[in-house]
């Protein structure tokens, strides 16, 4: 069974590793090509966009793909929409693998907002901004606040005039996040509801420091079968594989 895994996440790498250990699966992970030195998954990879929905549909047919797992980041809405349309058109089964979002707990002070644009006026003067480099232009006109910008790759301009860029890749620890936020006298955290353990330490640190968190909500889930764990995605593929290879099929 030939599987296209839309990747760029820790879950996609874990799923690729699990599937390459099983017999009967040929996995191709697709990466967008945004990061110069991405963490590479097990098995084959391809890099770069498909050229929109038409390009993806043509690629699925040309490569004789039997199933697609969209294991992209919860905020990668364009490739997810493209996967839904292209698989519907070609009749290739699609599964969405999305880690659960984060939830506010006792002691947290979160302000949920529906979009990054709605996060542009956070309640503080020294902002720890971990929303990724693509959304930075929204904050570029803010010359009143100071920003600590953390991203994997150097963010392109425009950036807020009063800012410090920190290049880093998770996972992060609570101790490390506490030290960072104290050292820079951060008084508000702005982040996206990415979910997962790799980057959750900043939320614990914000709680311990009594800081408000502006939490950008996820885009809506697509209309497609979905699971939240790598194990459930493996089980879905295994069931599809059994059906595909059952006598008489
Ligand atoms: P996006 O806005 O949904 O996608 C923009 C375009 O990039 C898509 O239309 C597609 O181009 C191409 N693309 C995106 N993901 C791709 C993939 N896995 N393989 C091939 N092409 C892909 O995506 P994004 O938010 O920029 O995210 C890009 C990648 O970074 C994804 O793989 C995602 O999992 C990962 N990532 C994103 C975030 C985030 O916060 N958004 C965080 C961590 C990791 P075509 O239309 O030409 O096919």
pLDDT at 249: 62
**Could you identify the atom of ligand 1 that is nearest to the CA of residue 132?**
40
Report the percent of the chain where pLDDT is more than 70: 99
Residue-wise pLDDT tens digits, 188-236: 999 999 999 999 999 999 999 999 999 999 999 999 999 999 999 999 9
3-state helix, strand, coil in the chain (%, to 5): 35, 20, 45
pLDDT at 35: 86
Residue-wise pLDDT tens digits, 144-168: 999 999 998 899 999 999 999 999 9
86: how many CB neighbours lie within 10 A of its CB?
Answer: 25
State which residues of the chain have pLDDT below 50: none
Predicted structure pTM score: 0.94
Distance from the alpha carbon of residue 174 to the mean position of ligand 1, in angstroms: 28
Length of the chain (residues): 249
Which mutation among 29, 32, 60, 217 tests ligand 1's pocket best, with the greatest number of atoms within 8 A of CB? Answer: 32
**Could you identify the atom of ligand 1 that is nearest to the CA of residue 35?**
30
**Which residue bears the tokens 């996060």?**
119
- Residue of minimum CA distance from atom 27 in ligand 1: 76
Distance from the alpha carbon of residue 143 to the mean position of ligand 1, in angstroms: 30
Distance CA 182, CA 16 (A): 38
Provide the angle, in degrees to the nearest 10, between the axes of the packed helices 174-183 and 201-209.
50
For the chain, the farthest-separated pair of C-alpha atoms sits apart, in whole angstroms, at: 69
**Could you identify the atom of ligand 1 that is nearest to the CA of residue 50?**
48
pLDDT at 245: 73
- Residue of minimum CA distance from atom 42 in ligand 1: 73
Distance CA 115, CA 244 (A): 41
CA-to-CA separations, 215 to 47, 120, 149, 171, 207, in angstroms, rounded = 30, 11, 16, 19, 13
Distance from the alpha carbon of residue 198 to the mean position of ligand 1, in angstroms: 19
Residues near 247 by Cβ (< 8 Å), separated by ≥ 6? none
Residues lining ligand 1, Cβ inside 6 A: 6-9, 30-32, 34, 49-52, 55-56, 72-73, 75-79, 82, 132
pLDDT at 248: 63
């Amino acid at each position: 069974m030939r599987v296209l895994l839309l990747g760029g996440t820790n879950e996609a790498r874990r799923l690729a590793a699990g599937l390459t250990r099983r017999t009967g699966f040929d996995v191709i992970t697709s990466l967008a090509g945004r990061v110069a030195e991405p963490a590479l998954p097990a098995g084959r990879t391809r890099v770069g966009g498909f050229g929109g929905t038409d390009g993806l549909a043509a690629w699925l047919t040309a490569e004789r793909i039997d199933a697609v797992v969209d294991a992209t980041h919860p905020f990668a809405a364009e490739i997810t929409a493209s996967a839904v349309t292209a698989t519907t058109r070609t009749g290739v089964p699609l599964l969405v693998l999305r880690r659960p979002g984060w939830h506010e707990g006792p002691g947290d002070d979160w302000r949920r907002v529906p979009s990054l644009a709605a996060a542009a006026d956070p309640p503080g003067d020294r902002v720890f901004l971990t929303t990724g480099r693509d959304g930075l232009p929204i904050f570029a006109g803010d010359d009143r606040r100071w920003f600590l910008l953390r991203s994997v790759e150097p963010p392109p301009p425009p950036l807020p005039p009063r800012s410090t860029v920190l290049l880093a890749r998770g996972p992060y620890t609570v101790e490390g996040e506490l030290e960072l936020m104290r050292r820079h006298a951060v008084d508000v955290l702005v982040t996206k509801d990415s979910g997962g353990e790799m980057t959750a330490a900043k939320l614990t640190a914000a709680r311990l420091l009594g800081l408000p968190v502006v939490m950008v909500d996820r885009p809506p889930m697509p209309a497609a079968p979905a699971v939240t764990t790598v194990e459930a995605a493996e089980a879905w593929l295994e069931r599809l594989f059994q059906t595909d290879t059952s006598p008489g099929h």
